[in-house]
A and B are shown apart, each in its own frame.
Chain A
Amino acid sequence: MAWQWFHQWGSPRWFYQRSGVWLPWLGGAAGLLLAIGLVWGLALAPADFKQGNSYRIIYLHVPASFLALAGYYLMAIAGAIGLVWKIKLAYTAMKCAATIGAALTFVALFTGAVWGKPTWGTYWVWDARITSMLVLLFLYFGVIALYQAFDRVDVANKAAALLALVGTVNVPIIYKSVDWWYTLHQPASLKLTGESTLHASMLQPLLVMVVGFYLFYAAALLLSMRAEVIARESGGGWVKALAAGQGGGQQL
């Protein structure tokens, strides 16, 4: 039964309908959690004794950083599934995950830079964690640029999937080498996102935000995949029916 379920994912039409059902729930849950987490983090959690209120950016920076890295691995895994089992939907997931991952990596970098200003006085510090994040952003851009370079979609899929896989092997190496580089040059100073022990009342909103971000990622991914599926299946009958249907009223 599991195998049959696994292959069901292969049919884009089936995916479009199933995702249509889950999307409202996913989006709603994500919105709720994000709202609660943000209010809790910005207004209710106590200020940090050393950094004052600027630490509140952690409620955006840390979840975005988690997702940036997790998103890259998810993209690579989707690519691998596409390469091994030839499931087109996996390639679709890979392509959409690349864009969303790059966007969230940018968010992580931007929030990190803004957080750096009150903490260290300059927007950009070549801190080990942030430098690795910048390299990760370039890895994302590499996959996206390679994907767009090919006219034929199936070649683009395979090439991008391969680059993503190569990237996953390199990410740990990059992170370690940047850490080594950072300790080589840097006199001891506060690591921006070091494991400074957060007080429980600060940690709880962070967990809520992280879960909220993951749900948001899933919702954004499904939305983007639905558009991509329509783009790839534009010849299909069901897309024509959908187009005709959507010509008039709005139905998801």
Chain B
Amino acid sequence: MSGPIDWQFESWAAFWQMAGHGPYVWAAVAVTAVVMVALLVAPLRRQRRLLAEVRAEQARAARRAAATADKPAGGKI
């Protein structure tokens, strides 16, 4: 990095304004951040939902076993 860190903007306000171009730059940063966070969070939530579905399937199988256990001669597919 050549020389000491030279901040381009004197204050946070100037950094936010960016000489008039602030809204555009920060809008772009915001949308990019939202999309990237979504790309990380969505798979994790999907994984949790899928594992919950696996548990529900096991409960379903238990119900089926219970149904056939008490009336084995009953209508079974």
Contacts and interface: CB of A to CB of B under 8 A. Distances in A.
Chain A partners chain B:
yes
B24 A117 contact: yes
Interface in B4-60: 5-9, 15, 18-22, 24-25, 27-29, 31-32, 35-36, 38-40, 42-44, 46-48, 50-55, 57-58
Contact of A42 (B20, B25, B53): B25
A230 B35 contact: no
B19 A47 contact: yes
Contacts of B29: 38, 42, 60
Interface stretch (A154-162, A171-179, A180-188, A221-229): A221-229
A234 B40 contact: no
Contact of B8 (A27, A46, A96, A111): A46
Contact of B18 (A44, A53, A201): A53
Main secondary structure of the interface of A (DSSP, over half): helix
Interface stretch (A73-81, A83-91, A241-249): A241-249
Given A52-B20, A111-B28, A227-B50, A106 B35 contact: yes
A241 B74 CA distance: 32
B30 to A, nearest CB: 10
B51 A64 contact: no
A240 B58 CA distance: 9
A53 B21 contact: yes
Given A47-B8, A61-B28, A227 B44 contact: yes
Contact of B44 (A45, A223, A231): A223
A52 B19 contact: yes
Interface in A100-143: 100, 103-104, 106-107, 110-111, 114-115, 117-118
Contacts of B55: 243-244, 247
Nearest to A201: B2
The winner among A43, A52, A216, A239 for most chain B CB atoms within 10 A is A43
B61 to A, nearest CB: 10
A163 interface: no
Contact of A230 (B22, B38, B50): B50
Contacts of A104: 35
Given A106-B35, A110-B28, A111-B28, A44 B43 contact: no
14 contacts: A53-B19, A53-B20, A54-B24, A56-B18, A64-B32, A100-B39, A104-B35, A107-B35, A220-B40, A224-B43, A227-B44, A231-B46, A243-B51, A246-B51
Given A53-B18, A243-B54, 18 more contacts: A43-B8, A43-B15, A44-B6, A44-B8, A54-B21, A56-B25, A60-B28, A100-B39, A114-B27, A115-B24, A227-B47, A230-B47, A230-B50, A230-B51, A231-B46, A234-B50, A234-B54, A247-B51
Interface of B: 2, 5-9, 15, 18-22, 24-25, 27-29, 31-32, 35-36, 38-40, 42-44, 46-48, 50-55, 57-58
